[in-house]
Structure 1
Amino acid sequence: MVELLEEISQKLLWIRKNRPLIHQITNYVSANDCANATLALGASPVMAHDINEVEEMTSKASALVLNIGTLSVANIPAYLKAGITAKERGIPVVFDPVGVGATKQRTEVAKAILADVQPDIIRCNMTELNVLCHRKVAVKGVDSIASEAGRGELAREFAEKTNAVVAVTGKTDLVVDKKNMITIENGDEWLTRVTGTGCMTSALVASFAAAGNAFIGAVAGVLAMGICGELAKLRLTENEGIGTFRMRLIDEIFQLNCDIIKKYGKIS
């Protein structure tokens, strides 16, 4: 795995040299944090939602994020138009099916994106993976409450079905495609106590995917968030809470470098 950590490190250097444009049709709860995380990593964010400009903006981007966290009727055509434009131009698409299964409309939109766009990377939690695989599971808003038992097999089946890289985040993280499976053991429970860290992870995944290779991009983005979450928690002093943790998380993304990746990365 030393070679993989080295490859991830080189992609970080590529991002900071080339500052790829990452177009994100994301949710308004986490849009600011996603933009700041993208900037901190070294890429350039843009959040263009209007149907009249998404095609043009996507065509200028190096990667696209479709995040349905705050779904609206107005944005549904924009998701599809931007996604199809990206696929036509060979631009990697990261799909974040936030809260899929919570409502019928949310599930139907997710199905449409999977069918019509065919994303390159699907970043989800275990509850969302179960819903996308048509398994019965309890849904609590946008939070994951499903057991992680059997997720490797389920993620592999879904990757084969969708021809996508599937990144499942949880207590430990898993990145799967048709041939490969990587487990990432970085992270901290506090990442679940700040809203939008999953969305931020998708932004980092897209930034790394812009450097080429969807599988490595997914591993790199998830790993980066895990490492930075760990370090942000370690930096907290007495009487500092989740507000400071959120601030320090952005700082750690900004400070991330090749040596930190190689020192702290826990992948197998």
Structure 2
Amino acid sequence: MAINIPNLDSILAAHQALKNQKPLVQCITNSVSVNFMANVLLSAGASPAMVDNPEEAAEFVNFAQGLVINLGTPTSALVEAMQLAIQQASHLKKPWVLDPIAAGALSWRGQIAADFLSFKPTVIRGNASEIIGLAGLGANSRGFDSSNDPAHSVEAAKSLLDHASAVSASGEIDHIVAKTSHETGEKFWLAKIKGGSHFFPLVTASGCSLGALVAAYTSVTDPFNAVVSAHAHYAVAGKKAHLKTDAPGDFQREFINELYNVTADDFEQYLEFSVEELVAA
């Protein structure tokens, strides 16, 4: 699918398409995230399916519109299911998202993530540490945390565009990188979206669930717009929820509500978003 430069109109169109089409997203994810991820997808307008066993994973890809692969708590059986699902998604040319949790910090899952890259994920989504770690840049690749500034991951994200159509690093300001190809050559683009709330890091699986929402959006629009739209939906709902709460438990509840309630007017009022061309130094 061609890569287009996102704008407010394309984000609103993707959000409406998500609500209209209610894409079915297959989630092969970590054990901590299953419940919250399912609720995020349902509230945002998609349909989750946690089909994650080797016996059924590939078969279910035939029915799903999107797939998310999350390396948070890998086991041998789960990795086998991931491999089978990815192979089938690649064969059917269906979009899939790789969330490489701690791939740069732990050797076994790092090799798994490297193997998965050969199947060309549509999108790679993580925090800055994970994106840097996956790209093999730098020593500060702790992976489980989000201590690195997403701005520091831009070069790593650009290098990962050899494998994916778009790469995002989430944080206080989300950074999303993609490239377009023209007769005159390639252009790299950077979208920035200001995050929704400082409560996000205190809600388990909030980042993992964003990866699933990205997978949902990849089924209704082009990859760059899909990532931007998913991050925008998350940020706007997070900002609205933050205004109503003063603690992470209440925030989690209100965030699910606002994912469901967000409107076009909310995007126009709350979204802090920009896109710029990245010029080589």
Same fold (TM over 0.5): yes
Matched, 1:85 2:91: no
Cα deviation 1:236-267 (Å, max 9, x = unaligned): 1xxx5211111111111011122211221111
Q: TM-score, normalised by structure 1?
A: 0.92
Match of 2:48 in 1: 45
Name the aligned partner's letter for residue 244 of structure 2: R
Identity %: 30
Cα distance in 2, alignment partners of residues 3 and 131 from structure 1: 27
Gaps of 5+ in 1: none
Would you tell me which structure has more strand in proportion to its own residues?
Answer: 2
On the 8 A contact 1:99/1:141 being kept in 2, the answer is yes
Q: Is the 8 A contact 1:6 1:262 kept in 2?
A: no
Structure 1: how far apart are the matches of 2:6 and 2:83?
37
Equivalent position amino acid for 1:219 in 2: V
Correspondence 1:32 to 2:35: yes
Work out whether residues 194 and 272 of structure 2, in 8 Å CA contact, stay in contact via their aligned partners in 1: yes
Deviations 1:152-206 (A, max 9, x none): 33322221x2143101111211111123221112322111111111011111111
Compared with structure 1, are the counterparts of its residues 135 and 154 closer, same or farther at alpha carbon in structure 2 (3 Å cutoff)? closer
Aligned length: 262
Question: Residue deviations 1:52-100, cap 9 Å, x none?
Answer: 1111111101110000111111111111110111121121111101122
Match for residue 268 of structure 2?
A: 262
Residue 209 of structure 1 corresponds to: 218
Q: Flag the 1:141–1:165 CA change in 2: closer, same or farther, 3 A.
A: closer
Structure 1 SS opposite 2:273: coil
Q: Select 2:198's aligned residue among 170, 181, 189.
A: 189
Aligned to 1:199: 208
- Distance in 2 (alpha carbons) for counterparts of 1:168 and 1:250: 22
Distance in 2 between the 1:225 and 1:194 partners?
13
Q: Which of 245, 248, 254 lines up with 2:251 in the alignment?
A: 245
Distance 1:214 1:3 in 2: 10
Task: Give the conservation status (yes or no) of the 8 Å contact 1:49–1:75.
Answer: yes
Q: 1:139·1:145 contact (CA, 8 Å) conserved in 2?
A: no
Is 185-194 or 78-87 further displaced after alignment? 185-194
| Pair 1:75-2:57 in alignment | no
CA-atom RMSD in angstroms: 1.7
Shift of 1:3: 7.1
Work out the CA distance in 2 between the residues paired with 1:3 and 1:75: 35
